[in-house]
């Protein structure tokens, strides 16, 4: 029988969202035998290489960090297998895991997905939730499979969306909730519950956010524009043009002036 804190865990994550679950695993004394994260990318005006937030945190704690471009190569899969993880935990890693990787850990690959699956599968579910005007956001802790966020779900948890929530604010809340859900599930190993299959008829998808999405369409309603301001903060931001200049909208509040005017 595997004792809880003796579980060997490989953690896979890249952005700020992944920091909280990793910190929680470290605080509980889990054996993080490797951290996988995206390669360093050019950023800023100087285009200097910048590490993902997860890499910085992992190195601060003396963890081994790996940054492959892909996990599809047999040599990368063989290396990961040599780590002999009991569990792989994924939180916004950003790379697709082939079946050969999914088959490596003893207890499977657990993915913290910040939406109420099957709603908002895909790369940017937090922004999608705000754009959709949902009253509730949530986290799904799922068993990862080859399909895009299609795997069976161990548990879900919800939180009410507040008017001031932006993508980073809401993501922070969901990261903490997801971390708590993860610790609860890990405590049940080796007797994991049977995850529930998703209802694919209720599935929706939202892909990558692009810079062009930030351009305001003044034919849409004030409510929709306000949602975009919160969803696309801080990147790409919401912007418009006036007198041949680009104006960035940092905050917006819809108001009903009772004038009966159409959006324009």
Q: Say whether 15 sits in a helix, a strand or coil.
A: coil
- Given a cut of 70, is residue 193 above it in pLDDT? yes
- Given a cut of 80, is residue 85 above it in pLDDT? yes
Q: How far apart are CA 139 and CA 117, in angstroms?
A: 8
66 burial (CB, 10 Å; 0-12 / 13-18 / 19+) is middle
Q: How far apart are CA 177 and CA 159, in angstroms?
A: 9
Q: Any idea which of 42-51, 57-66, 133-142, 220-229 has the lowest mean pLDDT?
A: 42-51
Categorize the per-residue pLDDT at 202 as very low, low, confident or very high, splitting at 50, 70 and 90: very high
Mean pLDDT, rounded, for 89-112: 97
The whole-angstrom distance between residue 185's C-alpha and the CA centroid of its chain comes to 18
Mean pLDDT, rounded, for 186-191: 95
Q: What percent of the chain has pLDDT over 70?
A: 95
CATH class of the structural domain 4-206: alpha beta
CB-CB contact of 15 with 53 (8 Å): yes
- Given a cut of 80, is residue 16 above it in pLDDT? yes
Q: CB-hemisphere CA count at 13 Å for 140?
A: 23
Token pair for 165:
């929530």
Task: Quickly count: other Cβ atoms within 10 Å of residue 160's Cβ.
Answer: 10
Q: Where are the domains of the chain?
A: 4-206, 209-264
Q: CB-hemisphere CA count at 13 Å for 16?
A: 8
Q: Say whether 167 sits in a helix, a strand or coil.
A: helix
The CATH architecture annotation of domain 209-264 reads Roll (3.10)
- Given a cut of 70, is residue 175 above it in pLDDT? yes
Mean pLDDT of the chain: 94
- Given a cut of 50, is residue 3 above it in pLDDT? no
Greater pLDDT, 146 or 127: 127
CA angle 167, 168, 174 (to 5 degrees): 90
Q: How far apart are CA 236 and CA 220, in angstroms?
A: 19
Q: How far apart are CA 116 and CA 125, in angstroms?
A: 9
Mean pLDDT, rounded, for 28-47: 92
The whole-angstrom distance between residue 158's C-alpha and the CA centroid of its chain comes to 15
Mean pLDDT, rounded, for 198-227: 95
Q: What percent of the chain has pLDDT over 90?
A: 88
Task: Quickly count: other Cβ atoms within 10 Å of residue 206's Cβ.
Answer: 19
The whole-angstrom distance between residue 41's C-alpha and the CA centroid of its chain comes to 18
| Cα distances (angstroms) measured from residue 65 to each of 68, 84, 157 | 10, 16, 30
CB-CB contact of 13 with 25 (8 Å): no
CB-CB contact of 138 with 115 (8 Å): yes
CA angle 210, 214, 218 (to 5 degrees): 140
Q: How far apart are CA 171 and CA 16, in angstroms?
A: 9
């Amino acid at each position: 029988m595997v004792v809880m804190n003796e579980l060997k865990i490989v953690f896979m994550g890249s952005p700020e969202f992944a920091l909280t679950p990793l910190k929680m695993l470290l605080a509980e004394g889990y054996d993080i035998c490797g951290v996988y994260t995206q390669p360093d990318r050019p950023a800023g005006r100087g285009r200097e290489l910048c590490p993902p937030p997860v890499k910085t945190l992992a190195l601060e704690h003396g963890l081994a960090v790996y940054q492959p471009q892909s996990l599809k190569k047999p040599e990368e899969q063989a290396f990961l297998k040599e780590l002999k993880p009991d569990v792989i935990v994924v939180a916004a890693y950003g790379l697709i895991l082939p079946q050969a990787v999914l088959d490596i850990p003893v207890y499977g690959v657990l993915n913290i997905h910040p939406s109420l699956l099957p709603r908002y599968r895909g790369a940017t579910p937090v922004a999608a939730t705000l754009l959709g005007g949902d009253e509730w956001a949530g986290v799904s802790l799922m068993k990862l499979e080859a399909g895009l966020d299609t795997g069976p779900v161990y548990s879900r948890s919800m939180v009410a969306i507040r008017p001031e929530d932006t993508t980073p604010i809401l993501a922070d809340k969901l990261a903490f909730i997801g971390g708590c859900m993860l610790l609860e599930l890990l405590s049940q190993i080796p007797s994991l519950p049977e995850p529930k299959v998703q209802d694919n008829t209720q599935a929706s998808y939202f892909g990558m956010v692009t810079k062009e999405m930030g351009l305001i369409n003044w034919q849409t309603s004030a409510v929709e524009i306000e949602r975009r301001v919160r969803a696309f903060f801080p990147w790409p931001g919401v912007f418009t043009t006036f007198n041949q200049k680009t104006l960035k909208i940092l905050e917006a509040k819809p108001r009903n002036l009772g004038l009966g005017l159409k959006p324009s």
